[in-house]
Amino acid sequence: MSVHTDQSSVTVLGLGPMGRALAGAFLEAGLRVTVWNRTPGRDGELVARGATSAASPEEAVAAAPLTVVCVVNYDASDAVLRQDAVAAALKGRTVVNLSADIPERARDTAEWAGRHGVRYVDGAIMTPTTTIGTDDGVFLYSGSEELYREHQPVLAALGGSHTHLGEDIGRAAAYDIALLDIFWTSMAGYAHALAVARAEGISAVELAPFAAGIAAILPPVFTEFAADADAGTYSGRVNPVTSAASTMAHVVHASEAHGIEASVMRVIEGQARRVIALGHGTDGFIRLAEVLARR
Ligand code: NDP
C-alpha cells in the first residue's frame, strides 16, 4: 500500500483538550493513532486506549500518511513542524492544521509546506471538545480540494460536518475569525449584561430564560440580513438605526450609573451615530458592516 492510500492510520500532534478529543475520536473509529505533545505525560489515557506514544514529532509524523496538528496557534505549530527533522519526515505526507490563527499564517504555512514538499490542508474547528466524535462537530477546511478529498475518509472519523470552503488556503481561517468575532462579541455582551443585571438586583438565573430568548432572535436575523448585506440594501423598515442607537445609549447610561465600564457599547453607539451622520438613519443597524470598512 502506498503511503497516500493508507486510510487506517493517523498522527495527532498537540494534546491539549482539543488534540486529546481528536485523537480519542480517531481511536474510537478504529484507526491506528500515533500521538505526540511538547510536554510529555499528556497521552496516558490515549495510550491506555491503544494510541502509540511517539518519542519525537519526527517519529510521530513518520508513522502515518496524515498528520493532524492541533496546538494553541501557528507560532506553536511552526515551532513543531518547521524543525528540520520534522520537515524531512513530512516530505510527501499530508498535514491538516486544525490549530486556530489568522488567514495570513495559514498562507505562510502553505508556502513553507510547498517549499518542503509537504502536502498541506488548512482547517478550523468551530465547536467545543465535547462535540468531537459526535454529530455536532463542525470542521472547516481550505486548500487543495483534491488533497482534502483524499483524506476525507480519515477526517470523517471525527464525526460531525466537514466542509471544504475553497482552494484559497486562508479561507478556513477567515471563516474562523468571522465566526469567533460573533462568538466573543456575544459572550462579551452576555458578561456585561450579567454585571448590569446584578447591579440591579437581578441574578443570572433569573435573567437566563429571557437571555435565551434574545439569543434566539439572532439566527433568523443573521440569515435574513445576509442577503441584504451582500446586496447593499440595509432596510431599516422594522428597526431603523436611529431607534437602535437610542437603546444603546440606555445601556451606556444604566451601566455607567452603576460604575460599570461601558466602553464597548459606547463604541458601538458611536458607530451607529456615524451611520446616521452619513445620511443612513433610516437604514437598519447592519449598514454598520459597510460603514466599518470605510476609512
Ligand atoms: P490550547 O489552545 O491551550 O493548546 C494547547 C496545546 O498547544 C498543547 O498541546 C500545548 O502543548 C500546545 N502548545 C502551545 N505552545 C506550544 C509550542 N510553542 N510548541 C508546541 N506546542 C505548543 O488548547 P486546545 O487543545 O483546547 O486547543 C487547540 C486548538 O484548538 C487551538 O487553536 C484552539 O483555538 C482550537 N479550538 C479549541 C476548542 C476548544 O473547545 N478547546 C474549540 C475550537 C477550536 P503543551 O501541553 O506542551 O503546553
97 shares its domain with 217: no
Residue 8 carries which side chain, given as an amino acid letter? S
Residue 33: inside a domain: yes
Which residues are CB-contacts of 65 (< 8 A; sequence separation ≥ 6)?
A: 3, 4, 5, 6, 9, 93, 94, 151
Counting atoms of ligand 1 from 1, which one is nearest the CA of 15?
Answer: 9
Distance 44 CA to ligand 1 centre (A): 17
Q: How many domains, the chain? A: 2
Domain end residue (candidates: 143, 167, 191)? 167
Nearest protein CA to atom 4 of ligand 1, as residue: 72
Of all protein residues, whose CA lies closest to atom 17 belonging to ligand 1? 76
pLDDT at res. 237: 82
The answer to whether residue 187 is domain-embedded is no
> Does residue 152 sit in the same domain as residue 13?
yes
- Closest ligand 1 atom to residue 39 Cα is 47
Give residues (CB < 6 A) around ligand 1.
14-19, 37-39, 42, 70-73, 76, 79-80, 99-100, 125, 128-129
What pLDDT was estimated at residue 287? 94
Contact between 31 and 52 under an 8 Å Cβ cutoff? The reply is: no
Distance 224 CA to ligand 1 centre (A): 35
Q: Calculate how far, in angstroms, residue 107's C-alpha sits from the geometric centre of ligand 1.
A: 20
73 and 131 both lie in a single domain = yes
Shared domain check, 144 and 18: yes
C-alpha cell at 124: 478550523
Q: Which of 139, 167, 195 is the last residue of a domain?
A: 167
Is residue 91 within 8 A of residue 116, CB to CB? The reply is yes
Residues 157 and 213 in one domain: no
Same domain (yes/no): 26, 115: yes
How confident is the model at residue 141, as a pLDDT? 98
Q: Give nearest CA residue, ligand 1 atom 38.
A: 128
Q: What is the pLDDT of residues 66-97, one digit of tens each?
A: 999 999 999 999 999 999 999 999 999 999 99
Query: Tell me: the pLDDT tens digits for 216-254?
Result: 999 999 998 998 899 989 988 888 999 999 999 999 999
Together in a domain, 155 and 243: no
Predicted local confidence at residue 236, as pLDDT: 85
252, 265 Cβ separation under 8 angstroms? yes
Residue 238 has what pLDDT?
83
42 occurs within a structural domain: yes
User: Is residue 190 domain-resident?
Assistant: no
pLDDT at 6: 79
Is residue 264 located within the same domain as residue 143? no
Angle at 183 between CA 181 and CA 189, to 5 degrees: 100
Residue 275's domain comprises 203-292
Phi, psi of 58 (to 5 degrees): -65, -40
CA of 100 relative to ligand 1 center, distance in Å: 9
Give the nearest ligand 1 atom to 16 CA: 25
Test site for ligand 1: of 12, 18, 22, 77, most ligand atoms within 8 A of the Cβ: 18
Of ligand 1's listed atoms, the one at least distance from the Cα of 13 is 9
Residue 174 lies in a domain: no
The verdict on 58 and 139 lying in the same domain is: yes
In this structure, the number of other CB atoms found within 10 A of the CB of residue 19 comes to 25
Q: Name the residue of 12, 20, 67, 71 to mutate for ligand 1: max ligand atoms within 8 A of Cβ.
A: 71
Residue 221 placed within a domain? yes
**Domain of residue 38, CATH code:** 3.40.50.720
Is residue 195 situated within a structural domain? no
Low-confidence ranges of the chain (pLDDT < 50): 1-2
Return the pLDDT at 132.
Answer: 98
Match 458611536 to its residue by C-alpha cell: 270
Res 235: pLDDT: 84
User: Which residue owns the Cα nearest ligand 1 atom 46?
Assistant: 39
- The rounded Å distance from CA 222 to ligand 1 centre is 30
CA-CA distance, 47 to 34, in Å (whole number)? Answer: 9
Report CA(15)–ligand 1 centroid distance (Å).
7
One domain for residues 146 and 76: yes
Question: Which positions ≥6 away from 174 have C-beta within 8 Å?
Answer: 103
State whether 21 and 163 are in the same domain. yes
Here the cell at position 219 is 439566527
Same domain, 90 and 145: yes
| Site to substitute for ligand 1 among 67, 72, 183, 187, most atoms within 8 A of C-beta | 72
CATH at residue 224: 1.10.1040.10
Phi, psi angle pair for 123, to nearest 5°: -155, 170
Q: Is residue 64 part of a domain?
A: yes
CA–centroid distance, 172 to ligand 1, in Å, is 18
